[in-house]
Structure formats: structure tokens, C-alpha cells
Amino acid sequence: MDNARRAFCIVVLALFCCSCGGRSPGGGKAVTPVASSDQCLLVLAEDWDSTQGTLSLFERSWTGSWKAVGPGVPVFLGRKGLGWGRGLHPEQTEGPRKAEGDGRAPAGIFTLDSAFGRAPLAPQLKTFPFLVVNGQTICVDDGVSSRYNTVFQADQVPVRNWDSCENMLRSDARYDLGLLVGHNPPPVVPGGGSCIFMHLFSEPPLPTSGCTSMARPDMERLLRRLDTVKRPVLVQLPRAEYGRLKTVWGLP
């Protein structure tokens, strides 16, 4: 093959790869932390210390590119802002890290495995699991316990080995509807942060202890859209980190 024809083939191949919309030339998705997901909840904050942000829902098109679904909505974050959590993303060395009780919501990429809430208030979800909570549903935040960072029914456990936990049936309605965030998954790191949720605004709306909160109408619309088959993920980042990692991580 002469040099002119070789150069032509290289150009054609480059154009083909660029048109793959985040997929490899063989048709598979690019290897990134969100490669296996077709649904992404993207939360952006101004900086690490921001207590508010904007949540946008994206879905992957048949070409592999991300498309926004509806407008962005306001959310509250931790009272101390964001800190790198433990999730699907590679470990990061620059910036604050999430720890138990630090008041920071986790930054990074996390699975969303189930919604939760009160039975009478549960939306009609056909494509996403829903955990109905009651007076015995708790999440353990005691780092010494073997059940640290797990949600379960306390009355179904024969031996209590925790000193502190969160009751998932609250009187203030914040947990009437929510999502379990896959932060600090097994093998769980004691003290790495626990009981991270997306839940409803407090009244009046205020920053959280480390979760992400939103208005009830926004939560209901979100829950009705989430689809287990699309393997939804939550991405939370300060804008500067998003700009640095968007292409590398294959983000919307």
C-alpha cells in the first residue's frame, strides 16, 4: 500500500471511531466507569464546599451518546459540601475524602439499586425495585458493627451488635421517598461513610448530613423514569472535577 492510500485509510478509520458515540469500533461501549450504564443522574456543584447543586437525568441513545431527559432540578448536598466517596470510580488523591459524620455528600460514581419509602406513598414503579420501610427498617452507622452501612429489618436479626443506626421510617417525611446510594460497597471500609441516600427536602429545605435531597415532585418524576435494565448510576462532582474527568470517565 502506498503512502497516499495508507493516509486515506487512517483518516477513514479515525472518522469511524469518532462517530461511535462513546463506543469502541467493535460496537461495544467504551471501557469507562459508566460503560455498562444507560441511565445517569448527574449532580454538579460549584466547588467542593458547595451545599447546593443541580441534578440532571441522562439516558444513552442507540448511538451510545448521552441525551438529557427533562430540565435540571435543584438539590441540597451535605452541610460541608462534597468529598470523594467509594464507588465505581478509580480512587482519587486530590480533594477531600468522605468519612463517617463529616457532613459531606460523596463525590464520584455510584450504583442505584433500589428506591425506598412508605407503602401508601410508593409511586407505581414498574421497572425499579422499591423497598417498603416500616418501624423496624434501619441503616447501621456504627463503624464497629458487622452490619455497618446496611439497611435491614432490625426485628429479623437475632443478635444486636450496633450502638447507633438511622430509622428509615421518619416523622419528618424526608425518607417518605428516596433512593439507596451504593456508596462504600462491600468490602465496606469502617468509618468510610454510611447510610447515603437521595431523599426529600427537609422543611424548610436545608443542607443534609451527607445525602442528596430534592423536592418531592422531582423525586416522583425521577423514580418513575428509572429502569433497572438501564443500570442507573449517580454521578456527583464539583464542576472543575467534572470538566477534568468527563471524557476520561465517559460522562454525559
**CA-CA distance, 31 to 81, in Å (whole number)?**
29
Question: φ and ψ at 137, to 5 degrees?
Answer: -80, 120
Q: So what's the pLDDT on residue 172? A: 94
Sign of CA dihedral 94, 100, 104, 108: positive
**CA-CA distance, 232 to 198, in Å (whole number)?**
13
Cα dihedral angle (39, 57, 117, 106), rounded to 10 degrees? 90
- Beta strands 177-181 and 66-68: pairing type? unpaired
Q: So what's the pLDDT on residue 5? A: 47
Determine if the pTM surpasses 0.85: yes
What are the structural domain ranges in the chain?
1-30, 32-249
Three-state secondary structure call for residue 10: helix
Q: Which residues pair with 199 in a beta bridge?
A: 178, 213
Q: So what's the pLDDT on residue 30? A: 54
Q: So what's the pLDDT on residue 27? A: 43
Three-state secondary structure call for residue 154: helix
* Burial of 31 per CB tally in 10 Å (0-12, 13-18, 19+): exposed
Contacts of 243 (CB under 8 A, 6+ apart): none
pLDDT tens for the chain, 252 residues long, are 454 444 434 333 333 333 334 444 344 445 799 999 999 999 999 999 999 999 999 999 999 999 999 999 999 999 999 999 999 999 999 999 999 999 999 999 999 989 999 987 777 777 899 999 999 999 999 999 999 999 999 999 999 999 999 999 999 999 999 999 999 999 999 999 999 999 999 999 999 999 999 999 999 999 999 999 999 999 999 999 999 999 999 999
Q: How far is CA 36 from CA 20, 204, 220, in A?
A: 16, 38, 25
